[in-house]
């Protein structure tokens, strides 16, 4: 019997059943963009075209596609231990992976800094965020501060699509359809300001003072009601917003002063994207928890998790030894295939020094990206680590349409980039060559002149 997946071209009626996520379904199904194979820096389409992947799949395949050691580790694991129940049972790879992750987490720089010594596993960035928020609320309660129920996010923040994540997130379209969300959430202002920060190379100099808005929020609600603040060190999905110099340190100082937990959502920043294991390592600011996903398995098997401070973990480890300390977890927490994939991925990152490679190519990507200044429609270029973005003037009354046209043209010419609103983002795998980077940026540059 013919399997649907064996057919190269699907007929229109065969496209109907799958309700695609974050996609204009009707438009897509009129002219599908179908990927059937991947290797290294490239995808191949169903009509045999090679596509240079300028966005690591979706900010996740940081080691490149179909890397042999990772593929083989997954295959071996599937044939050895396909599943192990994670509640009251375990398998050794989960412990090995937790230790490896703790080993690359940022270390305390001062005695006041947390030591991120523990990992809670889940399956995605959204689950990681909800897990971190739940740990924050529960921790405030176990230490006798149960009145601290308020969570603070940031405008334009993206923290996935769970109810916790969209509540602390700050993207209107992701929030407005879904009712009242979590109660008791407030938001910091975002730091994106073209008047002051346009065309900054690396971190903008202006904007650290925006962290002081947290003091205003604390004054409004009182610290005794606030459990945690969550921010992306570099906000990716909302258009690559780079933190101003000193901004994250100020958030750390203010949260510490008021007994508020600081959570860095590093689902995009982690695993080399900023030229270090985590953004926290690069910025020298140690939060109380770090959420991660995507690059932990280089996108091969779904996995997410939360790095948690020693203090938080220790405060849960009380009561009768037979009591479950945290009523939270997923059937697939620390799934054996995901653990095997993650361990092999961490080996590849280490053996090929990919985080260092991203750091050494940062100036090349920065130079190429900032070369887009002055091209038609461009109003800003931003970069940090192995991520860059170009923001376009929106077409009157059609936000996002111009950037989407550029995206479509680039795809037709064999280069995959990503748009959010009128921002085009570049986040290539850490194995990208200078030639790959050049092709990616040149293709966008050429097409800027071709769209109205
Ligand atoms: C910062 C951040 N948090 C959370 C998520 C959600 O991750 P997932 O799509 O794996 O649920 C994303 C996804 O892009 C993200 O960028």
Please provide the CATH number assigned to the domain covering 4-63+353-448: 3.90.1150.10
What is the CA(126)–ligand 1 centre distance, in A? 6
Count of C-beta atoms within a 10 Å radius of residue 196: 13
Name the closest-CA residue to atom 8, ligand 1: 125
Ligand 1 pocket test, candidate residues 55, 237, 304, most atoms within 8 A of CB: 237
Determine how β-strand 261-265 pairs with β-strand 289-292: parallel
Q: Directed axis angle between helix 247-257 and helix 213-221, to 10°?
A: 20
Buried residues in 105-127 as b, exposed as e (16+ CB within 10 A): bbeeeeeebbebbbbbbbbbbbb
Question: Computed from CA positions of residues 393, 270, 266, 384, in that sequence, does the dihedral angle turn out positive or negative?
Answer: negative
Name the closest-CA residue to atom 3, ligand 1: 159
CATH class of 75-351: alpha beta
Q: Helix count (H) and strand count (E) of the chain? A: 16, 15
Distance CA 335, CA 331 (A): 8
Name the closest-CA residue to atom 13, ligand 1: 160
Contact 271, 292 (CB under 8 A): yes
Extents of the domains making up the chain: 4-63+353-448, 75-351
Residue 306's Cα: distance from chain center in Å? 13
Q: Which atom of ligand 1 is nearest to the CA of 268?
A: 16
Name the closest-CA residue to atom 12, ligand 1: 160
Distance CA 337, CA 79 (A): 10
Structure tokens at 29: 């199904």
The pocket around ligand 1, CB under 6 angstroms, is made up of 124-126, 129, 158-160, 232, 236-237, 265, 267-268, 293
Each of the 452 residues of the chain gets a pLDDT tens digit; together they read: 445 555 567 888 899 999 999 999 999 999 999 999 999 999 999 999 999 999 999 999 999 999 999 999 999 999 999 999 999 999 999 999 999 999 999 999 999 999 999 999 999 999 999 999 999 999 999 999 999 999 999 999 999 999 999 999 999 999 999 999 999 999 999 999 999 999 999 999 999 999 999 999 999 999 999 999 999 999 999 999 999 999 999 999 999 999 999 999 999 999 999 999 999 999 999 999 999 999 999 999 999 999 999 999 999 999 999 999 999 999 999 999 999 999 999 999 999 999 999 999 999 999 999 999 999 999 999 999 999 999 999 999 999 999 999 999 999 999 999 999 999 999 999 999 999 999 999 999 999 999 99
What is the CA(322)–ligand 1 centre distance, in A? 35
Count of C-beta atoms within a 10 Å radius of residue 206: 15
What is the CA(427)–ligand 1 centre distance, in A? 14
Nearest CA to 141 among 250, 210, 228, 33?
228
Nearest CA to 413 among 50, 54, 57, 58?
50
Question: Computed from CA positions of residues 130, 136, 137, 139, in that sequence, does the dihedral angle turn out positive or negative?
Answer: positive
What is the CA(84)–ligand 1 centre distance, in A? 26
Structure tokens at 214: 């947290």
What is the CA(161)–ligand 1 centre distance, in A? 8
Structure tokens at 229: 């603040």
What is the CA(60)–ligand 1 centre distance, in A? 10
Q: How far is CA 310 from CA 26, 108, 201, 315, 318, in A?
A: 49, 11, 36, 9, 14
Q: Which atom of ligand 1 is nearest to the CA of 266?
A: 1
Determine how β-strand 304-309 pairs with β-strand 378-384: unpaired
Q: Which atom of ligand 1 is nearest to the CA of 265?
A: 1
Q: How far is CA 210 from CA 203, 219, 258, 284, in A?
A: 14, 15, 17, 19
What is the CA(267)–ligand 1 centre distance, in A? 6
Nearest CA to 271 among 240, 229, 308, 305?
305
Q: Which atom of ligand 1 is nearest to the CA of 59?
A: 14
Buried residues in 314-325 as b, exposed as e (16+ CB within 10 A): ebbeeeeeeeee
Q: What is the pTM of this model?
A: 0.97
Contact 267, 88 (CB under 8 A): no
Structure tokens at 303: 């996995």
Ligand 1 pocket test, candidate residues 55, 58, 126, most atoms within 8 A of CB: 126
Q: Which atom of ligand 1 is nearest to the CA of 127?
A: 11
Contact 225, 151 (CB under 8 A): no
Contact 132, 288 (CB under 8 A): no
Contact 47, 37 (CB under 8 A): no
What is the CA(42)–ligand 1 centre distance, in A? 23
What is the CA(268)–ligand 1 centre distance, in A? 7
Q: Which atom of ligand 1 is nearest to the CA of 294?
A: 10
What is the CA(293)–ligand 1 centre distance, in A? 8
Q: Which residues does 89 contact at the CB level (< 8 Å), separation at least 6?
A: none
């Amino acid at each position: 019997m013919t399997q649907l997946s064996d057919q190269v071209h699907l007929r229109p009626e065969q496209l109907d059943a799958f309700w695609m996520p974050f996609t204009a379904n009707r438009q897509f199904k009129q002219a599908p963009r179908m990927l059937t194979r991947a290797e290294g820096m490239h995808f191949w389409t169903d009509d045999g075209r090679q596509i240079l992947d300028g966005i690591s799949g979706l900010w996740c395949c940081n080691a490149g596609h179909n890397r042999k050691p990772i593929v083989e580790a997954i295959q071996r694991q599937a044939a050895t231990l396909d599943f192990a129940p994670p509640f009251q049972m375990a398998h050794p790879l989960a412990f090995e992976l937790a230790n490896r992750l703790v080993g690359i987490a940022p270390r305390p720089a001062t005695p006041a800094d947390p030591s991120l010594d523990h990992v809670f596993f889940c399956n995605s960035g959204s689950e990681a965020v909800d897990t971190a928020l739940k740990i924050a609320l529960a921790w405030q309660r176990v230490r006798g501060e149960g009145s601290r129920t308020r969570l603070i996010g940031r405008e334009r923040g993206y923290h996935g699509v769970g109810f916790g994540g969209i509540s602390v997130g700050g993207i209107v379209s992701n929030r407005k359809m879904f009712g009242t969300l979590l109660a008791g959430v407030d938001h910091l202002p975002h730091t994106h300001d073209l008047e002051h920060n346009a065309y900054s190379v690396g971190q903008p100099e202006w904007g650290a003072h925006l962290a002081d808005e947290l003091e205003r929020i604390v004054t409004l609600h009182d610290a005794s009601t606030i459990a945690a603040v969550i921010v992306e060190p570099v906000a990716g999905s909302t258009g690559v917003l780079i933190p101003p110099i000193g901004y994250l340190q100020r958030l750390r100082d203010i949260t510490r002063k008021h007994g508020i937990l600081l959570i860095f959502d590093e689902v995009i920043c982690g695993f080399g994207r900023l030229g270090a294991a985590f953004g926290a390592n690069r910025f020298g600011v140690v939060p109380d928890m770090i959420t991660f996903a995507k690059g932990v398995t280089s996108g091969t098997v779904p996995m997410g998790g939360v790095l948690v401070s020693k203090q938080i973990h220790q405060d849960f480890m009380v009561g009768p030894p037979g009591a479950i300390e945290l009523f939270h977890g997923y059937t697939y927490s620390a799934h054996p295939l995901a653990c095997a994939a993650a361990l092999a991925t961490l080996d590849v990152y280490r053996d090929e020094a990919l985080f260092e490679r991203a750091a050494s190519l940062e100036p090349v990507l920065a130079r190429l990206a900032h070369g887009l200044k002055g091209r038609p429609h461009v109003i800003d270029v931003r970069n940090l680590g192995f991520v860059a973005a170009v923001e376009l003037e929106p077409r009157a009354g059609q936000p996002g349409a111009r950037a989407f046209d550029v995206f479509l043209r680039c795809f037709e010419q064999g280069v995959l980039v990503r748009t959010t609103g009128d921002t085009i983002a570049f986040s290539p795998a850490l194995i990208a060559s200078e030639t790959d980077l050049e092709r990616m940026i040149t293709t966008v540059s050429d097409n800027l002149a071709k769209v109205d």
